[in-house]
Structure 1
């Protein structure tokens, strides 16, 4: 358990000024992290949009008093809203969106806290000035998890002289991040596993209530036994009276016993049938809530579709009951597991954390549209499971890791400019398809290098579009929850909460810069001006220092013109105003043209002549295929006449 200062912002009508304090907590380079199970993000106030930022996430919510529907104990948007804490967070800062100012005379203050969820119960008085601050004296409790760093259990056990789980009857558990471990006492024991004989047997027989009820309880090391009093015998865990010999005929007794057994069996079967019906009804209700009927109708109308609606049992069996050993990765929206369906078909199963009411109502309709996506550079959505509280998505399995791992985790392995440009073209083409060629325009919403998967030939496949939204048709459909990934998030979206196709263009611009520089998009340990890769890149472009930040693997004299063109395109994508950014289609055409120019042999024969031929179209727009072949023809004619 720990504590930290709550964040607040107050508006003073008399001076038309705002005073605020943005709280933060930094556990970097320690063995602690913020428990995602025991803590919540709470935002309290009227007309308040606040969020926490970390090295990987931006998560928050919007509370309002506009409808006057405030209720004690209810924190669902009226005066108070809440959001889940992401996994493995060691650092966060609190921020209030300046576009939302609480100017109420009665409740001019807004608060944002990350704290132990069991210690917070919303009271309507908390929106009144400093009531919440005074209730906690400005300090809120927060629960921390910890680990022994940096070894996993398997590594730690290799050196028993320093192995920490020294108590007998103790066990070692890997931390969620797989970068450390902890020790616990085995089942039936309690105490300190880090000292000799620290885990002591729990005497279950003295517990209240007695686990054996009125029967005899005998404690054993790690467990207990129940036995019957004299005159009774135990069958199926129940003590029954020993029947004394009777002069009455045995047949009625046997008949009564058989009747009792039959009655018990009938009752048990009836209860089992009732529970199964209850479970089936619950699954049908979940399926109905998620638009299952709409999705079934769509599938019937589109013959030949490979999209499948899975049962929960199928996915449990495929993922070994969602075993931790099957986890492929964690994201802001959920956890992805590797699965093996019948027929040895490898898949990736995404188990989402939550789903908002708007998406719950539209889920079936959205799945019907997403199931029609068919593009070689987009991970195929194979199906979904609707009969659970939060739907699960099933994708094709792509085995060769992510673009993020290729750039930042290959330990210096050479990646050519042609390979990087090819990945960029295929990724841009996939986003162009989502924006322009799908039956309904789709906004990805979380474009980043970890969401670009690679096959064995380094061909790109854009993933995680199941967390996307369909392009809104009116203002009421825009979401107000700000959630994304630090370093890739569109600053215009941060201010307006309006997700557009140009938000994806900005995020793709960051991926382009990542490919050019080999640097991570957000580095918490870097100097202030170098924390954000996008800001550092824009500064370098403004000061004509592009060569200083390029990756040494691609920085060659014969590549500089191509690199400058790519950098100029990335600069346009990172424009602060979304309207000034190119469309994904324009980005794809530009990159495709650059690849053709770079690969064609005549670009190496007479650079000055080719530069003259290519400068005008390259400067003004992306080279389409027709333009390119026209330029190529001119270049060949020029070479023939000159030689």
Structure 2
């Protein structure tokens, strides 16, 4: 000890060092611990648990998107997220139960008017979306057609009270005062809508109100009193439960794990799980198998003691291990070949050993027999699907035609071509199915493989005959159908691959490329010609059913190829198969189809009219963010035409072109195509002829001065290929010379 250092002073220094170390460790812990472990963060709001990453206040939540408020409303304690009430949160399931409103449409006899209230839910720019598994679109009423609209979907159903069909509790089938439809994946925004043609003015005494709600399936049980009174709204007090999925961050596990400072799965024995909610890419955390608790907090995942409750080892001794358990033989027994047997003499054990070996051999034999039986069953199932879909008819028909390139593919071929239908090979999602890019083995041909969602029993029988018709379609502006796969429950279609994107991307892709009126008109002509061929020139008329710019593909020369033409033939077309489910693409739907649910060739004409308006204006067909009168492009266009304001909505890229008369003619054609009555619309053949004539006028502008020459030009055959710059220069020079010479 140094002179002058007393024991008391040394003790004081040591105490100071210890206190300093404790403070440093506490501060460091406060920096790295998640908010759920910090002192002062409540774990409950009333009777509702608040598990981390959720918390009351920004200091207690993982981030602001999980920030909750605990407040008192009408004397009751409630948990609030934004302005929505939360009733339950589950970390293991990655779900949150919240409360949303009910859309209604009621007839008021005092004023003799129908009024309605549309409810909306907006989860945009959050980490929450509506669970497609736990919720359903529910519609109640004796004359109700209601649907939810999102940025990409219009889905709903029609509910009626059929004469002679009695209403039953717990029965919701569309004909008994109630119907339900599935919720699509990844929906973050919706509004409830009622079709005005389906109201309560005719039946208000028996059914005064119609209701529509997106709500939890398990929370709904239909009662007959819901139809003839306001009991449904009163029962739920105007609010229904809805289940939301959530993710912790909008990153995949692979990306999140590259930055451990912000990685949320911090508990030991936790794992990362990618979310799969449509376009809601992200991840959340789970405790590993054999553990339970909260993976978002330090040491939050605790080992499950499997031996504590029911003994999983039966009569043997259960020993708990981290994340698992093990079994050992009880006293007086020993293990042989994984089985506990009594301890006996050598000679006594011989029969037991022999029996054990025989038992093992028997197990192996049974396992092999089961495997062979499963393979046989699978092969029989594939053959059964092949026969159901008319594969024998199709095979014989294709074999009888020499030089036919149509092929019947095996399921294994298409799995290899698409890397087992990997998400990275998805080209797009449509109303009828998902399209994958594939590369066929051997000849290395790129193809597009379409997996359809459903097929009804009638078309299962007719599918082979329909494929014979589709295989014969040969048009330069229609994507070629190369073959199909029939050994699966829902057949798959194989098309040629068109590599240069869609017309939608060309118009709205923000690529800065100027698209001339001539190019747009050329694409319109080729698309119209393809639809006219399907309607009029195919051996049996084919309705497209989903005409839109994403279904018009373009090659390197901006030549159009209409795709998805085979999808509509899978949809019911018989009047006896009238469907109550209405779904399609917002902005392109024929209003007459929305009312009747019956598809015609004039439905395609209406959708093509929207495509023409899209080409003229450069605007998307349906914009939820726009004012009420500008949400629908078709409605905005018809209003502009009526008020002579066409120039106000034209695309800036074609405003400066010296083709005002041509643009006005195209607009007039689009106006006729968008007529509310299908009988007043032209056929696709008439549309093609009109556009063809306008292109001829553009190619020969000098002929407008000479009617006789114009008549001769219109009688010339038209080549719908895109005009090159050299050809345009030649035409313009010829026009100038003709006009100078007084023609």
Query: Do Structure 1 and Structure 2 share a fold, with TM-score over 0.5?
Result: yes
**Number of the residue aligned with 2:723:** none
1:523 and 2:614 aligned:
no
SS in structure 1 at match of 2:691: helix
Query: In the aligned structure 1, how far is the partner of 2:440 from the partner of 2:305?
Result: 43
Query: In the aligned structure 2, how far is the partner of 1:118 from the partner of 1:291?
Result: 40
Residue-pair matches, total: 626
**Number of the residue aligned with 1:184:** 285
Q: Which moved more, 1:26-35 or 1:504-513?
A: 26-35
Q: Once the two structures are superposed, what CA deviation does each residue of 1:331-385 show, in whole Å capped at 9, x if it has no partner?
A: 2333222333332333333333334455455444433433332222222333334
Task: Tell me the CA shift for residue 218 of structure 1.
Answer: 4.7
**Number of the residue aligned with 2:18:** none
Query: In the aligned structure 1, how far is the partner of 2:708 from the partner of 2:636?
Result: 29
**Number of the residue aligned with 1:31:** 127
8 Å Cα contact 2:477/2:560 also seen in 1: yes
**Number of the residue aligned with 2:140:** 44
Distance 1:582 1:23, change over 3 A: same
Aligned pairs (5 A) from 1:314-353: 314-343=413-442, 344-353=444-453
Task: Tell me the CA shift for residue 640 of structure 1.
Answer: 9.4
Query: In the aligned structure 2, how far is the partner of 1:191 from the partner of 1:524?
Result: 41
Distance 1:315 1:219, change over 3 A: farther
1:98 and 2:190 aligned:
no
**Number of the residue aligned with 1:78:** 175
- Identify which of 119, 124, 149 aligns with 2:219: 119
Distance 1:128 1:463, change over 3 A: same
**Number of the residue aligned with 1:232:** 334
Larger radius of gyration: 2
8 Å Cα contact 2:704/2:710 also seen in 1: no
**Number of the residue aligned with 1:594:** 694
SS in structure 1 at match of 2:484: strand
8 Å Cα contact 1:295/1:368 also seen in 2: yes
1:414 and 2:514 aligned:
yes
Distance 1:211 1:330, change over 3 A: farther
Q: Which moved more, 1:580-589 or 1:429-438?
A: 580-589
1:88 and 2:179 aligned:
no
Q: Once the two structures are superposed, what CA deviation does each residue of 1:100-129 show, in whole Å capped at 9, x if it has no partner?
A: 346555445433221122333344554343
Q: Once the two structures are superposed, what CA deviation does each residue of 1:427-467 show, in whole Å capped at 9, x if it has no partner?
A: 21211111111111111111111112223333322222232
Q: Once the two structures are superposed, what CA deviation does each residue of 1:595-626 show, in whole Å capped at 9, x if it has no partner?
A: 3433x3x53xx5xx6355399879xxx94535
- Identify which of 342, 351, 368 aligns with 1:269: 368
Query: In the aligned structure 1, how far is the partner of 2:657 from the partner of 2:504?
Result: 26
**Number of the residue aligned with 2:473:** 373
> Could you state the TM-score of these two structures normalised by the residue count of structure 1?
0.84
Query: In the aligned structure 1, how far is the partner of 2:396 from the partner of 2:140?
Result: 43
Query: In the aligned structure 1, how far is the partner of 2:273 from the partner of 2:475?
Result: 45
> Could you state the TM-score of these two structures normalised by the residue count of structure 2?
0.74
8 Å Cα contact 1:441/1:470 also seen in 2: no
8 Å Cα contact 1:165/1:172 also seen in 2: no
Distance 1:187 1:286, change over 3 A: farther
- Identify which of 21, 39, 56 aligns with 2:117: 21
Aligned pairs (5 A) from 1:581-620: 581-598=681-698, 600=699, 603=701, 606=702, 610-611=704-705, 613=707
Distance 1:470 1:182, change over 3 A: closer
Aligned pairs (5 A) from 1:83-482: 83-101=181-199, 103=202, 106-147=206-247, 156=256, 159-168=259-268, 169-171=270-272, 173=274, 176=277, 178=279, 180-185=281-286, 187-188=288-289, 189-198=291-300, 200-203=301-304, 205-206=306-307, 212-226=313-327, 228-229=329-330, 231-233=333-335, 235=337, 238-241=338-341, 244-247=344-347, 256-287=355-386, 289-292=388-391, 295-296=394-395, 298-299=397-398, 304-343=403-442, 344-360=444-460, 362-469=462-569, 475-476=575-576, 478-482=578-582
Query: In the aligned structure 1, how far is the partner of 2:599 from the partner of 2:378?
Result: 38
Distance 1:276 1:459, change over 3 A: same
Distance 1:269 1:511, change over 3 A: same
Query: In the aligned structure 2, how far is the partner of 1:123 from the partner of 1:182?
Result: 39
Query: In the aligned structure 2, how far is the partner of 1:404 from the partner of 1:276?
Result: 45
**Number of the residue aligned with 1:625:** 716
SS in structure 1 at match of 2:368: helix
Structure 2 gap ranges (5+): 1-96, 720-730
Task: Tell me the CA shift for residue 468 of structure 1.
Answer: 0.7
8 Å Cα contact 1:448/1:507 also seen in 2: yes
Distance 1:428 1:254, change over 3 A: same
SS in structure 1 at match of 2:360: helix
Distance 1:263 1:524, change over 3 A: same
Q: Which moved more, 1:309-318 or 1:426-435?
A: 309-318
Q: Once the two structures are superposed, what CA deviation does each residue of 1:106-157 show, in whole Å capped at 9, x if it has no partner?
A: 4454332211223333445543433433443332211122345655556555
1:68 and 2:170 aligned:
no
**Number of the residue aligned with 2:612:** 512
Query: In the aligned structure 2, how far is the partner of 1:224 from the partner of 1:255?
Result: 30
8 Å Cα contact 2:250/2:283 also seen in 1: no
**Number of the residue aligned with 2:668:** 568
8 Å Cα contact 1:442/1:470 also seen in 2: no
Task: Tell me the CA shift for residue 47 of structure 1.
Answer: 4.0
Query: In the aligned structure 1, how far is the partner of 2:308 from the partner of 2:179?
Result: 40
Distance 1:430 1:81, change over 3 A: same
8 Å Cα contact 2:573/2:598 also seen in 1: no
Distance 1:520 1:227, change over 3 A: farther
Considering only aligned residues, what root-mean-square deviation do their CA atoms show, in Å? 3.8
Query: In the aligned structure 2, how far is the partner of 1:627 from the partner of 1:398?
Result: 24
Query: In the aligned structure 2, how far is the partner of 1:563 from the partner of 1:446?
Result: 25
**Number of the residue aligned with 1:537:** 637
Structure 1 gap ranges (5+): none
Query: In the aligned structure 2, how far is the partner of 1:411 from the partner of 1:227?
Result: 69
Work out which structure has the larger RCO, using CA pairs closer than 8 Å and 6 or more positions apart in sequence: 1
Task: Tell me the CA shift for residue 257 of structure 1.
Answer: 4.7
**Number of the residue aligned with 2:89:** none
Distance 1:163 1:555, change over 3 A: farther
Q: Which moved more, 1:266-275 or 1:207-216?
A: 207-216
Query: In the aligned structure 2, how far is the partner of 1:615 from the partner of 1:63?
Result: 60
SS in structure 1 at match of 2:428: strand
Query: In the aligned structure 1, how far is the partner of 2:271 from the partner of 2:188?
Result: 27
Q: Which moved more, 1:156-165 or 1:469-478?
A: 469-478
SS in structure 2 at match of 1:342: coil
Query: In the aligned structure 2, how far is the partner of 1:611 from the partner of 1:266?
Result: 91
